[in-house]
Structure 1
Amino acid sequence: MREVSICILGAGPGGATAALHLARAGQRVLLLDKADFPRDKVCGDALSGKVISELRRIGDDVPGRLAAAPTQLPSWGIDFFAPNGRRLAIPFRPDFNKATDLAAGHIAKRIDFDNFLVEEVRQKPEIELLEGVDVTQYERTADGRWLLRTATGEIIASAQILLVANGAQSAFARQIAGHALEPDHHCAGLRAYYEGVTGLSPDNFIELHFIQDFLPGYLWVFPLPNGQANVGVGMLSKAVAAKKVNLRERLADMLENHPALRERFRDARRLGPVRGFGLPLGSKRRAISGDAYLLLGDAASLIDPFSGEGISHAMVSGRHAADWAVRALAAHDTSAAFLKQYDAAVYRRLGQELRLSRAMQRLLNFPTLFNFVANRAANNPTLAETLSSMFMDLNMRERLRQPSFYVKLLFGGK
């Protein structure tokens, strides 16, 4: 058994980020994961500009190493397809030059990106990484430490403070932190890999299709290295149940029959199975800490309710978790009252963004309004710039709450 000050459950983006920040602070840390890396995770595979910002906080040279990896593609924007079929191209950076500009985003399979972070972890002597260790039992000792056991009862570690980053299906989040699956704050999704999809953007724009009879869900097509593509659908679990939607059938039907997709997928070949996943959304503020523990990323239900993005939010929470774990140890105080400051820090960074995304998610119930915005933005440079910045800059997203935004929406202008 290992006796440590800080133990992290889960070596995905949130847990790996926390470990790397703790190592930079000179803290020794035990990092456990039930898988052996590289391992796959069902995801859309897009890495936003916020991911690049968090990588830079880990080390100035880290984003460059990612950009040089053959397992990623640089992405320069998003193509929205409104319910009326209107395409709205939103570059991440207006007037970008691929020859001179650094890409604002990337696309990489999670098996590759997560392993990229784990390889960063392996370089740090302060971090002990144990793979293939599935912790299933959590016990508090009389002196307030966490005792971690496997299903067979083997004690793996004793820790003063626990950082829980073991994903959307975290038993700890459900059993100890009391997070319940709430269909109005949970998204059901499917993902498959394809090759031979035609019509992909030469600038590797990711595609979001808001198809009239599939709302409030959406379909995505994200280009990948080696001529592959990540293709999937997502819909609020509450809507899936209410509409009795079979997501597998709908995905197959749209790829085969929808006018914007059928020719592009006519000769495409699926690589492997269609895999399902669930996303606990950050559309509701929850307690993400307690006595001697912090929840990170998907385990903390921090996924963006509009875009489904979870990687950058996991990394943001990992950075703050490392900070507050160090502070708690320095103060000799791992109480729930002290660690509430972690909640405040995370929601100070992400809360407004999550609220705005929740409002945007609700707009998917009004396809006429969605069409109207898409039509206006296509002919309005100010609107197009605002929509672009929504994915890169929270201050620009705040413009959606200003009356002048709607004046420009209705009448155009700069």
Structure 2
Amino acid sequence: MTERFDLVIAGGGPSGAAAAWQAAQTGAKVVVLDKAEFPRDKPCGDGLTARAVSYLQKMGLAHEITQFHKISGVTVYSPSQWELSFPQRPGMPDYGRTASRAELDTMLLKHAESAGAVVRQGAEVAGPELDARGRVVGVILKNGEKVLGDAVIAADGAYSPLKRGLKIDSDYNGYSAIAIRSEMHANRPDSDRFEIYLKLLFQGDQLPGYGWIFPMGGGRFNIGLGYVNSYKNWQSINATHFFGDFLRTLPAEWELPSVEELKKNKSVRAWRLPMGFTAWPPWRPGVLFAGDSLGAGKPVSGAGISKALESGLAAGECAIAALENGGPDDFTNYQQRMEAAWGREYKRGRFFNKLAGIPKVSETGLKLLDNHTFRDFLLKSLYKKAQSPSHT
């Protein structure tokens, strides 16, 4: 007999786990399905912004996340060096963290389970189950099993089987970043700063992207780079070779391994990060999209974890509210929530993404950022905006 749930969630990453935790608070019958067995690695920069930390605190994980390495600010090289601090916002932390996804995602999934959600690992979702009217009424697993629910949340990643099965596109022109990273030891002191390297050249072109060094504690560092596919020759870039070139620009005294050594231990991982709403509207009858399946990556920085948590929490809340007040045919409440929270930011992001893909524009932007007068003016404006009530 096929078991039925109030809410079926495809994907046990941050957005799926957050949605499950949120929905389970109401007493709803929730199941999370993920093809992996946790803990499992996930390619990521492993950086938690102050906003991501705040969402984890709101989920009741304030004590648990103290185990992760604390980050007090950001050092940017453009190529001149300058410092950024996390803005002081009422009720918000002024620090970030770094956390391996194996640890973070396992913690979040267990937290959802402790709230009452059923978690099924090793359960790969292959596509949606539809009724005669075309409404999503559940999911089909790779083994042919059907898991039915009053509503489904697609938190199944950048290559979402549910989105592909429904042939979902976007009313907006979403875009993606390509990122690659590895975790390694370095012969240098531990740090409490995210390090960002803005000068990222490919065959003389300034790319719309950046390199990063994120300290994990204990002498370990997550080092990687990412670039947006608005650059016309992005498909010509061999990400692994490009990553190796970036590693060679870093100080020799750090004694970093070569990319060839890193490939041998299989720590080099590349991934695609959808941004700018690659599924819009963010719902169809019976299903809501969250995290990477929504295209929730933050424009400009590509930060994905905070957006995954925010969209997951909103999807879990809005799904249950809609089911209690009208049914699964209309999740406009979720669309309105996402539009109010991110609409203006993502509209600007889509515009600047196109511009940044032009190397001369990126080069000019970098020169402006390297001018301390312009930079100070820009930073003052951004900090003032961050501290406004609408951004707290």
How far apart in 2 are the matches of 1:51 and 1:251? 27
Preserved contact between residue 232 and residue 251 of structure 1 (Cα < 8 Å): yes
Preserved contact between residue 73 and residue 193 of structure 2 (Cα < 8 Å): yes
Q: 1:207 is matched with which residue?
A: 196
Structure 1 residues 357, 198: CA separation in 2 closer, same or farther (over 3 Å shift)?
farther
Is 1:326 the counterpart of 2:320? The answer is: yes
How far apart in 2 are the matches of 1:275 and 1:306? 21
Deviation at 1:172, TM superposition (A): 1.0
Preserved contact between residue 208 and residue 227 of structure 2 (Cα < 8 Å): yes
Preserved contact between residue 276 and residue 297 of structure 2 (Cα < 8 Å): yes
Q: 2:304 is matched with which residue?
A: 310
Deviation at 1:385, TM superposition (A): 4.2
Report the TM-score when normalising by structure 2. Answer: 0.85
Corresponding residue SS for 2:45: coil
Preserved contact between residue 283 and residue 304 of structure 1 (Cα < 8 Å): no
Corresponding residue SS for 1:231: strand
Structure 1 residues 242, 317: CA separation in 2 closer, same or farther (over 3 Å shift)?
closer
| Equivalent residues in 2 for 1:352-391, closer than 5 Å | 352-358=344-350, 361=353, 362-363=355-356, 365-376=361-372, 380=376, 383-387=378-382
Question: Structure 1 stretch 208-217 or stretch 184-193: which is displaced more?
Answer: 208-217
Q: 2:101 is matched with which residue?
A: 110
| Equivalent residues in 2 for 1:35-74, closer than 5 Å | 35-59=36-60, 62-67=61-66, 69=67, 72-74=68-70
Deviation at 1:383, TM superposition (A): 4.2
How far apart in 1 are the matches of 2:35 and 2:49? 27
Corresponding residue SS for 1:30: strand
Deviation at 1:177, TM superposition (A): 5.0
Root-mean-square deviation over aligned CA pairs? 3.0
Deviation at 1:296, TM superposition (A): 0.5
AA of the residue aligned to 1:190: I
Q: Deviations over 1:205-256 (max 9, x none)?
A: 3334333545223211111122111111111224264572222112112221
Preserved contact between residue 290 and residue 340 of structure 1 (Cα < 8 Å): no
| Equivalent residues in 2 for 1:77-92, closer than 5 Å | 77-82=73-78, 85-92=79-86
AA of the residue aligned to 1:29: V
Is 1:30 the counterpart of 2:40? The answer is: no
Q: 1:401 is matched with which residue?
A: none
Q: Which residues of structure 1 form unaligned runs of 5+? A: 95-100, 398-414
Question: Structure 1 stretch 207-216 or stretch 6-15: which is displaced more?
Answer: 207-216
Q: Provide the aligned length of Structure 1 versus Structure 2.
A: 374
AA of the residue aligned to 2:285: D
2:239 to 219, 242, 247: 247
Preserved contact between residue 6 and residue 149 of structure 2 (Cα < 8 Å): yes
Corresponding residue SS for 2:36: coil
Structure 1 residues 314, 102: CA separation in 2 closer, same or farther (over 3 Å shift)?
closer
Corresponding residue SS for 2:168: coil
Deviation at 1:378, TM superposition (A): 8.5
| Equivalent residues in 2 for 1:8-407, closer than 5 Å | 8-59=9-60, 62-67=61-66, 69=67, 72-82=68-78, 85-93=79-87, 104-124=95-115, 126-142=116-132, 146-155=137-146, 157-179=147-169, 185-198=175-188, 202-212=191-201, 213=204, 214-239=206-231, 241=233, 244-256=236-248, 258=249, 261-263=250-252, 265-268=254-257, 270=262, 272-282=266-276, 286-335=280-329, 338-358=330-350, 361=353, 362-363=355-356, 365-376=361-372, 380=376, 383-387=378-382
> Identity of counterpart residues, as a percentage?
25
Preserved contact between residue 46 and residue 222 of structure 2 (Cα < 8 Å): yes
Corresponding residue SS for 1:205: strand
Q: Deviations over 1:120-167 (max 9, x none)?
A: 12322x211111101213222348562432223223x21111011011
Deviation at 1:175, TM superposition (A): 2.5
Preserved contact between residue 297 and residue 313 of structure 1 (Cα < 8 Å): yes
How far apart in 1 are the matches of 2:284 and 2:56? 27
Q: Deviations over 1:56-105 (max 9, x none)?
A: 3323xx223212x2xx21111112211xx2112101147xxxxxx96521
Preserved contact between residue 13 and residue 105 of structure 2 (Cα < 8 Å): yes
Corresponding residue SS for 1:50: helix
Preserved contact between residue 221 and residue 231 of structure 1 (Cα < 8 Å): yes
AA of the residue aligned to 2:65: L
AA of the residue aligned to 2:137: W
Preserved contact between residue 214 and residue 221 of structure 2 (Cα < 8 Å): yes
Preserved contact between residue 77 and residue 93 of structure 1 (Cα < 8 Å): no
